[in-house]
């Protein structure tokens, strides 16, 4: 025996195969059960021997065969004692296979399984992280209740392990332990809480998974980690992303107020998504209190957007549902493109995605209308895909596209897949009812189909026509006549029944035909389907009531036939009708009303989408797919009326500052900064009077948003991938600093006073410019370019201003509190050379508006994300420079165009002393250079702004960009458009100007 | 999440099972078999089945069903995507994802499944990491292992697991450093009876085969990146760089992988500034309306559909259709035969040869046999599945290939309602039909000079001609 097995070993792979082949045959033939059993015994003996041999190769071979048995679902439990001995094997492959075995059978052989525990406990202390992790994995997978305390201990230790990989496994172990012993919940929650704080991207997904399984209701554990999770999200592995996004969607629905109110005007006609009552109430609230999106809410929406580009369909779907459920309605449109992309994937993905699109397309048609043609059916699609596509096409149909669609449907009707053809006819019926313009067209189209050769098609058409005619019963005598003729040929019971019902209902419109039809039916009554018989009885009754002269005898004949029918339903109906319509001495009071009973107006059927009510399930979930609540489904809560305190998400500052500060400090003090930050305040307060009067209506709200947007942008820029760590740490730094100063500022009464003095006047003036700015930053966010995110490295001043604004407002939206506003004395204030464009706009806008109250320089509505290469990194010896036009008034002079230059160090050394030299400018042109940059860290990046007066021409400005060692000639040529200044003026003023200029 | 996995072959045998939590009996698959029976063909088996105690989510790949058992709420796409990833991994390891290959390598399969999921949650799905944990079987390695007793299983944690670039393994070394990119574009189209394009779009992918030592940082730029409408990326690509500079910047995984997939859609209004529409195609304006429209009530608004038809064709100009098909398929009333005549010719092929042309037609059920003569290539007709396959080969404009002849129908049966649609396959080498061009590939971070190559190919995707 053993030599035989050795032979297998020598042959390795091939031997393995034949071995498996043998086993396969033995499982397939269960007839020889007894023989099989004995051979199994023998084989197992042989395996036992191999396991006991002292050669690793024999053991390995035995283990491989055992795993083969497990894989096939054969019982190998009797080998447990022999296998478990090998748990301490030095050979890692044997060890792993033993683990596989243990996990499979430990539950059945608990006592023996305990023998292995000490090995795992030892392995948990192994210096190799892989071994530690796999020991924890197996230990936690052995479902033996006795070892719960040991598992608990191991999890706690692993959660504090230095290796993130081990911590990840600890997170997995939490779920396992929880399912083994739910009583450990409290202790496990403590571990989860600890692991949630973990900053490793490896751990994030797993711990959120554990959270979802163990304590999905403990939303309070998320608060402090919310921003971290949002920021880590892009880097987490894809599976973790899905789980985190789903969790954050639920979180957002409990923590933020609905962003949908502001869109109501746009989509008023659409039914409110969740609870119409709620929406109504909110709408009224709206007038009282303007909506402000919580910056954290915005952060989530921003940071998930890049994931729409993921290759993983589950991630894309997760983001899509997040946008659907929590983003403002106007922003949800971007998901449709990505969802349509998924339709190229395999059929299972298509199926799920199409289902979700079907639900979405009922609610918001507009989202998918541009992609109408992507839902056209191919003859090679599986039927389930075809019907789903058809469903979506129906939902998308409107007056504008219906003619195209009908043409398309016409192809489908002729499809060889008759089930699909029938579904198409149903669809046409639905389109006809939904879009009144085409009802007649559809009806006549369907009538054409009545002469189709295929019976299923004809039958389906009859049924649909019946429904359509029921909705507008007038003027369709001709069609009814036509259908009456069809009775001779159609055999499908539903269709026959429909025709009879239709004739019965309209018997007064076709007085000649109806009795004749009844006559024919009476002849064939006995051979009809039950469904048809019932309708014959109905028809008879109706005719008896309206035209008893002609049909009295016929009806009685039919009633007699029905009386002796085999089906009791028909006998019942017969008895009922006879009592009701045929007058006799016993007939009760009801017979007087027989006519009313039978010929009452019947409400038309409502042709509705089967996906109509699916929207109460969260999209992308199993429950949505099944249209039934799956076990463990977590409801999405309705938006809260009032947002819970947002400050719970604030993180202790000291930690963050420490963590984020190291990079990006190598920037110069910029003298202009101080100047502006002071003067800004001055201008703010002085200008206010002129503006506040005209703008007061919308101010209070927009102002608030302004604060938001600045906050957002700082959050946003921190979401940059690790590779651009330069930027990131930079912004993070600033953010941390900001928080730092904020907490500091809380106690700072001196500044508070200063604020108070100004607040009344200055905030209203801010409002005007900020309202414009809000829109500009919105448009920017759509493009989300790098240049933009750089320009968005919002400076200290800007943030402070935002904070002030918030301060002055009520406390509800205040993430940021009363703040220190002395730029010089703030110790953590990070001076930055680049001024925030929006800040400049604030300043300039106000500046100008004092001189002329009618024309004010506004921030541009659209700032292109385009950056131009100033210096390529190849030619710049690793220094790369890009320039862009932020389209903001230049701070260096009225006539200058502001230019932003982003410098990147792509080398692995510091680049020192970056400055500008040798300006070669055409006559009249002027340039305000940026201050020399002392040094730029490797991989670092810095954005500086400068001003160039191009003399309103498109001449090129040439200059040299120098580092400590090198000089590179570069030049900037502005496009004409960049030389213009965006200006906002009222229509009246525009006309005035126009007149003035002739 | 994922409780158990069953692999089932076409004949309904469960040949592999794996449980990540407690054991679920095989009998749960009966529900699946039931659903399979209900659905006429394998394609129509619903991917999600609800049973009293479990939910079954399945995929069908390479004639195998991967059926996973779920107990609680989970995004179905999560499971579906994961199962496909499992199938991809098998493909990657064994060269094919078939029952035989899986049975031959059952131990490796088991080890893989063990690493890929922990307690039902995906643990390691990147092929580069898996390959470090469990080495793929090769003949050489199995010989070496049997002599030295070393194993296929790695004993240290793959470096990728811990880094920010989990897709790449450390210490890659090649003597020849090469980076190849295949730009593969597939045209999905539905062509109308009259020859006008109902729907057309280009689905492109860039597949890369990167064999570079160390940690190269690549950036790939295009001549016309704006062409790319909707892109999905391999996780290695830096999204911000793409957004700002339209450059693909990435540290590549080792070996073969899909860098991006993109879509160039016709469903976008012509926007001169952003898109170079460098093909001018012949547009048909459809003037004839189907009887449907004309029968009733369109007299007043007949202008509307006309305008729309015009606009559609204008939009469709963006996707060039490289072939045209002339077809006349007719079945005679009350006789058991019909005529079949299909000619295929080149159109807008940018001067490149169209090769590998195949026409597949699913004939109606009443067709008994076909008697055809091709002027080029060969044809087969399977009387059971009623599938006609015409292998055309290369199209030469001088002599257009055609397939003509008679169709024998079942006598007595009514003539088919609709003509079958033609599915066309073709291939054009050295051409990306969208006009996408790779500009340059730069490498940073490593000193050596790699060998670089880009290949373009255009294929027909779901290319259907309605007749």
Interval B223-243: pLDDT, tens: 888 888 788 888 888 888 888
| B26-74 pLDDT tens trace | 888 999 999 888 887 888 889 999 988 899 999 998 889 999 999 888 9
The lowest-confidence range among A215-229, A389-403, B127-141 is B127-141
Percent of chain A residues past pLDDT 90, beyond the cut: 6
Cβ of B82 and A239 within 8 Å? yes
Interface test with B, best of A96, A110, A377 (most B CBs within 10 A): A96
**B15 and B66, same domain (yes or no):** yes
Q: At A585, is the pLDDT very low, low, confident or very high (cuts 50, 70, 90)?
A: low
**Which residue from A minimizes the CA distance to B139?**
A13
* Token pair recorded at residue B79: 């499971």
**Which residue from B minimizes the CA distance to A717?**
B240
Examine the pLDDT at A245 and tell me if it is beyond 90: yes
Average pLDDT score over residue span A737-760: 45
> Partners of B221 in the beta sheet?
B247, B440
Question: Distance (Å, rounded) from C-alpha A637 to C-alpha B348?
Answer: 55
The lowest-confidence range among A70-84, B67-81, B438-452 is A70-84
What per-residue confidence (pLDDT) applies to A952?
73
Q: At A670, is the pLDDT very low, low, confident or very high (cuts 50, 70, 90)?
A: very low
What per-residue confidence (pLDDT) applies to A931?
77
Q: What is the ipTM of this complex?
A: 0.85
Domain boundary among B131, B162, B193: B162
With contact defined as beta carbons under 8 Å apart, do A298 and A306 qualify? no
Average pLDDT score over residue span A583-606: 74
**B157 and B183, same domain (yes or no):** no
How far CA B115 is from CA of A741, B229, B438, in Å, comes to 47, 37, 38
What per-residue confidence (pLDDT) applies to A736?
45
Torsions phi, psi of B13, nearest 5?
Answer: -90, 135
Contact of A306 with chain B, judged by CB distance below 8 Å, is answered with yes
Percent of chain A residues past pLDDT 70, beyond the cut: 68
What per-residue confidence (pLDDT) applies to B151?
58
With contact defined as beta carbons under 8 Å apart, do B199 and B189 qualify? yes
> What is the domain count for chain B?
4
Q: At B140, is the pLDDT very low, low, confident or very high (cuts 50, 70, 90)?
A: low
Total number of residues shown for chain A: 998
Q: Is residue B173 domain-resident?
A: no
**What is the DSSP code string of B153-213?**
B--S--HHHHSS-TTS-SS---SS-EEEEEEEEEEEEEE-TTS-EEEEEEEEEEEEEEE-S
Average pLDDT score over residue span A290-301: 83
DSSP summary character for residue A854: S
Interface test with A, best of B8, B55, B78 (most A CBs within 10 A): B78
Interface of A with B in 330-369 (CB under 8 A): 337-338, 340-341, 344, 346-349, 351-353
Contact of A382 with chain B, judged by CB distance below 8 Å, is answered with yes
Residues of B with Cβ-Cβ distance to A17 under 8 angstroms? 103-104
Residues of B with Cβ-Cβ distance to A410 under 8 angstroms? 290, 292
Average pLDDT score over residue span A640-662: 62
**B17 and B118, same domain (yes or no):** yes
**B187 and B38, same domain (yes or no):** no
Question: Distance (Å, rounded) from C-alpha A842 to C-alpha A772?
Answer: 10
**B140 and B283, same domain (yes or no):** no
User: What's the number of CA atoms in the CB half-sphere (13 Å) around residue A10?
Assistant: 6
Torsions phi, psi of B119, nearest 5?
Answer: 55, 30
Question: Distance (Å, rounded) from C-alpha A808 to C-alpha A825?
Answer: 22
Interface of B with A in 375-404 (CB under 8 A): none
Contact of B98 with chain A, judged by CB distance below 8 Å, is answered with no
- Looking at every residue in chain B, the average pLDDT score rounds to 80
Among candidates B425, B415, B361, which has minimal Cα distance to B393?
Answer: B425
Question: How many other CB atoms are there within 10 angstroms of residue A935's CB atom?
Answer: 17
**B14 and B73, same domain (yes or no):** yes
Average pLDDT score over residue span B197-208: 89
Question: Distance (Å, rounded) from C-alpha A708 to C-alpha A725?
Answer: 25
**Which residue from A minimizes the CA distance to B167?**
A237
CA angle A898, A900, A902 (to 5 degrees): 170
Element (H, E) at A299: helix A295-304
Q: At A242, is the pLDDT very low, low, confident or very high (cuts 50, 70, 90)?
A: very high
Nearest to B106 among A71, A129, A141 (CB): A71
Q: Is residue B168 domain-resident?
A: no
Examine the pLDDT at A349 and tell me if it is beyond 90: yes
Domain boundary among B103, B132, B162: B162
Average pLDDT score over residue span B243-271: 79
Cβ of A622 and B75 within 8 Å? yes
Q: Is residue B170 domain-resident?
A: no
| B316-338 pLDDT tens trace | 446 788 888 988 888 877 777 88
| A77-131 pLDDT tens trace | 888 888 888 887 877 788 888 888 888 888 888 888 888 888 888 888 888 888 8
**B21 and B51, same domain (yes or no):** yes
Among candidates A973, A972, A781, A769, which has minimal Cα distance to A888?
Answer: A769
Residues of A with Cβ-Cβ distance to B17 under 8 angstroms? 71-73
Question: Distance (Å, rounded) from C-alpha A680 to C-alpha A699?
Answer: 19
**B152 and B61, same domain (yes or no):** yes
With contact defined as beta carbons under 8 Å apart, do A206 and A172 qualify? yes
Average pLDDT score over residue span A343-355: 91
What per-residue confidence (pLDDT) applies to B81?
93
Average pLDDT score over residue span A655-681: 40
Q: Is residue B171 domain-resident?
A: no
How far CA A165 is from CA of A137, A694, B445, in Å, comes to 11, 61, 27
Nearest to B151 among A91, A437, A630 (CB): A91
Contact of B26 with chain A, judged by CB distance below 8 Å, is answered with yes
With contact defined as beta carbons under 8 Å apart, do A956 and A975 qualify? no
Percent of chain B residues past pLDDT 70, beyond the cut: 82
Examine the pLDDT at B398 and tell me if it is beyond 80: yes
Nearest to A314 among B72, B77, B249 (CB): B77
Q: Is residue B309 domain-resident?
A: yes
CA of A64, closest CA in chain B: separation in Å? 6
What per-residue confidence (pLDDT) applies to B456?
93
Contacts of residue B70, defined as CB under 8 A and 6 or more positions apart, other chains included, come to A622, B1, B2, B3, B54, B55, B56, B57, B79
Report the CATH number that the domain containing residue B244 is assigned in CATH: 2.60.40.1170
**B339 and B405, same domain (yes or no):** yes
Q: Domain range spanning residue B239?
A: 178-266+433-466
Average pLDDT score over residue span A891-909: 77
Examine the pLDDT at A792 and tell me if it is beyond 60: no
With contact defined as beta carbons under 8 Å apart, do B203 and B189 qualify? no
Among candidates B459, B367, B453, which has minimal Cα distance to B414?
Answer: B367
| B333-367 pLDDT tens trace | 777 788 889 999 888 767 788 889 999 998 888 88
Number of inter-chain CB pairs under 8 A, A vs B: 327
CA of A787, closest CA in chain B: separation in Å? 7
Examine the pLDDT at A313 and tell me if it is beyond 80: yes
| A520-543 pLDDT tens trace | 888 888 888 888 999 998 888 888
Cβ of A786 and B244 within 8 Å? yes
Higher pLDDT, B350 or A385: A385
Residues of A with Cβ-Cβ distance to B47 under 8 angstroms? 347-348, 351-352
With contact defined as beta carbons under 8 Å apart, do B455 and B411 qualify? no
What per-residue confidence (pLDDT) applies to B300?
33
- Looking at every residue in chain A, the average pLDDT score rounds to 72
| A808-823 pLDDT tens trace | 443 343 333 334 344 4
The lowest-confidence range among A640-654, A979-993, B367-381 is A979-993
Average pLDDT score over residue span A401-418: 85
Average pLDDT score over residue span A778-793: 43
Domain boundary among B162, B192, B227: B162
What per-residue confidence (pLDDT) applies to B53?
87
Alpha helices in B39-138 (DSSP H): 76-94, 99-104, 106-116, 127-133
Q: A644, exposed or middle or buried, with CB in 10 Å at 0-12, 13-18, 19+?
A: middle
What per-residue confidence (pLDDT) applies to B308?
39
Question: Distance (Å, rounded) from C-alpha A444 to C-alpha A479?
Answer: 9
pTM, whole model, 2 decimals?
0.69
What per-residue confidence (pLDDT) applies to B207?
93
Report the CATH number that the domain containing residue B110 is assigned in CATH: 3.30.450.60
Q: Is residue B167 domain-resident?
A: no
**B259 and B344, same domain (yes or no):** no
Contact of A908 with chain B, judged by CB distance below 8 Å, is answered with no
Average pLDDT score over residue span A4-33: 41
**B392 and B437, same domain (yes or no):** no
Higher pLDDT, A967 or A185: A185
| A915-945 pLDDT tens trace | 877 777 777 777 777 777 777 777 777 777 7
Average pLDDT score over residue span A140-147: 86
With contact defined as beta carbons under 8 Å apart, do A902 and A942 qualify? yes
Q: At B4, is the pLDDT very low, low, confident or very high (cuts 50, 70, 90)?
A: very high
Q: Is residue B85 domain-resident?
A: yes
Residues of A with Cβ-Cβ distance to B71 under 8 angstroms? 631-632
Q: Is residue B199 domain-resident?
A: yes
**B397 and B420, same domain (yes or no):** yes
């Amino acid at each position: 025996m053993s030599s035989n097995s050795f032979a297998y070993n020598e042959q390795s792979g091939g031997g393995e195969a034949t071995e498996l082949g043998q086993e396969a045959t033995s499982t397939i033939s269960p007839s020889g059960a007894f023989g099989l059993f004995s051979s199994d015994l023998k084989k197992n003996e042989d395996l036992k021997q191999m396991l006991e041999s002292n050669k690793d190769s024999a053991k390995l071979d035995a283990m491989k065969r055992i795993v083969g048995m497990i894989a096939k679902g054969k019982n190998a439990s009797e080998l447990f004692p022999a296998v478990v001995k090998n748990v301490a094997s030095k050979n890692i492959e044997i060890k792993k296979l033993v683990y596989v075995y243990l996990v499979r059978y430990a539950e059945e052989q608990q006592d023996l399984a305990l023998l292995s525990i000490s090995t795992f406990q030892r392995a948990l202390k192994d210096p190799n992280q892989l071994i530690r992790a796999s020991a924890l994995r197996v230990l936690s997978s052995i479902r033996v209740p006795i070892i719960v305390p040991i598992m608990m201990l191991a999890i706690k230790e692993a959660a504090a392990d230095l290796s993130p990989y081990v911590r990840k496994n600890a997170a997995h172990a939490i779920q396992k332990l929880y399912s083994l012993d739910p009583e450990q919940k409290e202790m496990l929650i403590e571990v989860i809480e600890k692991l949630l704080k973990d900053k490793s991207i490896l751990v994030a997904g797993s711990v959120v998974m554990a959270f979802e399984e163990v304590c999905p209701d403990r939303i309070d554990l998320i608060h402090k980690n919310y921003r971290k999770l949002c920021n880590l999200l892009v880097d987490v592995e894809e599976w973790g992303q899905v789980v985190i996004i789903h969790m954050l969607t639920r979180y957002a629905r409990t923590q933020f107020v609905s962003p949908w109110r502001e869109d109501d005007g746009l989509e008023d006609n659409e039914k409110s998504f969740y609870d119409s009552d709620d929406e109504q109430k909110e709408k009224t609230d709206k007038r009282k209190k303007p909506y402000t999106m919580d910056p954290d809410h915005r952060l989530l929406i921003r940071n998930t957007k890049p994931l729409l580009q993921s290759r993983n369909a589950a991630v894309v779907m997760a983001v899509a549902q997040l946008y659907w459920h929590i983003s403002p309605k106007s922003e949800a449109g971007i998901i449709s493109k990505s969802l349509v992309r998924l339709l190229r994937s395999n059929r299972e993905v298509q199926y799920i995605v199409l289902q979700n699109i079907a639900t979405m397309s009922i609610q918001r048609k507009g989202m998918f209308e541009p992609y109408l043609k992507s839902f056209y059916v191919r003859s090679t699609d599986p039927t389930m895909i075809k019907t789903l596509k058809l469903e979506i096409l129906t939902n998308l149909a409107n007056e504008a596209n219906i003619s195209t669609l009908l043409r398309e449907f016409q192809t489908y009707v002729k499809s060889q897949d008759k089930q699909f053809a029938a579904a198409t006819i149903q669809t046409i019926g639905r389109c006809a009812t939904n879009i009144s313009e085409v009802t007649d067209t559809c009806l006549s189209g369907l009538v054409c189909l009545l002469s189709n050769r295929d019976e299923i098609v004809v039958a389906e058409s009859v049924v649909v026509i019946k429904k359509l005619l029921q909705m507008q019963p007038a003027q369709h005598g001709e069609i009814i006549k036509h259908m009456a003729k069809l009775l001779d040929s159609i055999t499908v019971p539903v269709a026959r029944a429909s025709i009879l019902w239709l004739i019965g209902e309209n018997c007064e419109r076709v007085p000649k035909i109806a009795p004749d039809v009844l006559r024919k039916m009476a002849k064939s009554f006995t051979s009809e389907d039950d469904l048809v018989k019932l309708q014959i009885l109905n028809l008879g009754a109706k005719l008896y009531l309206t035209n008893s002269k002609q049909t009295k005898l016929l009806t009685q004949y039919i009633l007699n036939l029905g009386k002796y029918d085999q089906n009791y339903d028909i006998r019942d109906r017969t008895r009922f009708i006879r009592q009701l319509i045929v007058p006799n001495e016993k007939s009760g009071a009801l017979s007087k009303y027989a006519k009313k009973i039978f010929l009452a107006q019947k409400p038309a059927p409502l042709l509705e989408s089967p996906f109509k009510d699916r929207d109460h399930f969260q999209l992308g979930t199993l429950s949505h797919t099944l249209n039934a609540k799956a076990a463990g489904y977590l409801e999405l809560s309705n938006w809260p009326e009032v947002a819970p305190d947002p400050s719970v998400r604030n993180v202790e500052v000291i930690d963050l500052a420490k963590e984020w500060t190291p990079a990006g400090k190598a920037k110069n003090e910029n003298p202009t900064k101080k100047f502006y930050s002071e003067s800004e305040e001055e201008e703010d307060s002085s200008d206010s009077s002129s503006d506040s009067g005209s703008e007061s209506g919308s101010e209070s709200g927009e102002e608030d948003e302004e604060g938001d947007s600045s906050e957002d942008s700082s959050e946003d820029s921190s979401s940059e991938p690790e590779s651009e760590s330069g930027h990131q740490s930079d912004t993070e730094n600033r953010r941390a600093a900001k928080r730092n100063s904020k907490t500091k500022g809380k106690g700072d009464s001196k500044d508070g006073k200063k604020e108070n003095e100004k607040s009344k006047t200055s905030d209203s003036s801010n409002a005007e410019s900020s309202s414009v700015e809000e829109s500009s930053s919105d448009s920017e966010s759509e493009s989300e370019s790098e240049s933009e995110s750089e320009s968005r490295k919002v400076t200290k001043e800007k943030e402070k201003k935002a904070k002030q604004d918030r301060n002055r407002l009520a406390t509800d939206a205040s993430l940021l509190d009363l703040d220190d506003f002395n730029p010089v004395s703030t110790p953590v204030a990070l001076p930055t050379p680049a001024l925030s464009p929006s800040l400049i706009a604030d300043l300039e806008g106000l500046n100008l508006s004092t001189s002329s109250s009618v024309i004010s320089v506004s921030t541009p509505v659209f700032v292109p994300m385009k950056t131009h290469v100033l210096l390529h990194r190849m030619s710049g010896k690793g220094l790369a420079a890009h320039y862009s036009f932020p389209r903001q008034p230049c701070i260096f002079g009225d006539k200058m165009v502001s230019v932003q230059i982003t410098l990147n160090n792509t080398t692995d050394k510091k680049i020192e002393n970056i400055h500008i030299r040798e300006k070669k400018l055409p006559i009249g042109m002027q340039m305000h250079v940026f201050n020399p940059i002392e040094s730029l860290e490797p991989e670092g990046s810095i954005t500086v702004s400068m001003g160039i007066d191009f003399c309103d021409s498109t001449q090129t400005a040439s200059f040299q960009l120098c580092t400590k060692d090198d000089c590179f000639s570069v030049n900037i040529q502005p496009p004409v458009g960049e030389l213009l200044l965006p200006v906002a003026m009222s229509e009246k003023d525009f006309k005035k100007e126009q007149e003035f200029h002739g | 999440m994922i409780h158990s996995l069953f692999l089932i072959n076409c004949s309904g045998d469960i040949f592999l099972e794996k449980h990540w939590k407690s054991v679920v009996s095989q009998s749960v698959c009966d529900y699946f078999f039931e659903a399979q029976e209900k659905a006429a063909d394998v394609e129509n088996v619903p991917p999600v089945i609800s049973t009293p105690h479990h939910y079954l989510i399945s995929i069908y790949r390479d004639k195998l069903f991967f059926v996973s058992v779920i107990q609680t709420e989970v995004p179905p796409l999560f499971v579906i995507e994961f199962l496909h990833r499992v199938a991809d991994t098998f493909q990657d390891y064994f060269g094919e994802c078939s029952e035989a290959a899986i049975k031959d390598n059952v131990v490796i399969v088991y080890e893989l499944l063990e690493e890929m999921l922990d307690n039902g949650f995906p643990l390691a799905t990147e092929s580069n990491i898996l390959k470090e944990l469990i080495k793929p079987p090769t003949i050489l390695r199995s010989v070496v292992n049997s002599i030295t007793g070393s194993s296929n299983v790695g004993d240290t944690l793959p470096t990728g697991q811990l880094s920010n670039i989990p897709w790449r393994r450390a210490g890659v070394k090649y003597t020849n450093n090469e980076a190849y990119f295949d730009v593969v574009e597939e045209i999905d189209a539905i062509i109308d009876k009259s020859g006008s394009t109902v729907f057309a779009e280009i689905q492109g992918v860039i597949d890369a085969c990167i064999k570079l030592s160390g940690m190269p940082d690549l950036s790939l730029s295009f001549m016309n990146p704006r062409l790319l409408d909707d892109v999905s990326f391999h996780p290695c690509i830096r999204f911000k760089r793409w957004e700002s500079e339209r450059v693909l910047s990435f540290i590549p995984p080792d070996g073969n992988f899909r860098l991006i997939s993109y879509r160039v859609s016709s469903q976008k209004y012509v926007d001169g500034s952003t898109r170079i529409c460098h093909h001018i195609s012949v547009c048909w304006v459809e003037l004839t309306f189907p009887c449907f429209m004309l029968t009733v009530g369109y007299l007043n608004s007949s202008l509307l559909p006309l305008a729309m038809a015009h606009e559609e064709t204008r939009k469709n100009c963006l996707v060039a259709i490289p072939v045209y098909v002339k077809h006349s398929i007719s079945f005679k009333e009350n006789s058991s035969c019909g005529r079949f005549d299909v000619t295929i010719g080149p159109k807008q092929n940018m001067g490149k040869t169209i090769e590998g042309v195949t026409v597949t037609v699913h004939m109606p059920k009443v067709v008994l046999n076909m008697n055809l003569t091709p002027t080029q290539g060969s044809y087969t007709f399977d009387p059971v599945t009623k599938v006609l396959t015409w292998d055309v080969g290369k199209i030469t404009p001088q002599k257009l290939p055609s397939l003509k002849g008679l169709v024998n129908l079942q006598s007595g049966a009514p003539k088919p309602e609709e003509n079958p649609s033609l599915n066309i396959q073709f291939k054009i080498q050295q051409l990306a039909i969208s006009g996408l061009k790779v500009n340059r590939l730069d490498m940073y971070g490593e000193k050596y000079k790699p060998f670089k190559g880009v290949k373009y190919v255009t294929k027909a995707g779901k290319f259907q001609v309605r007749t």
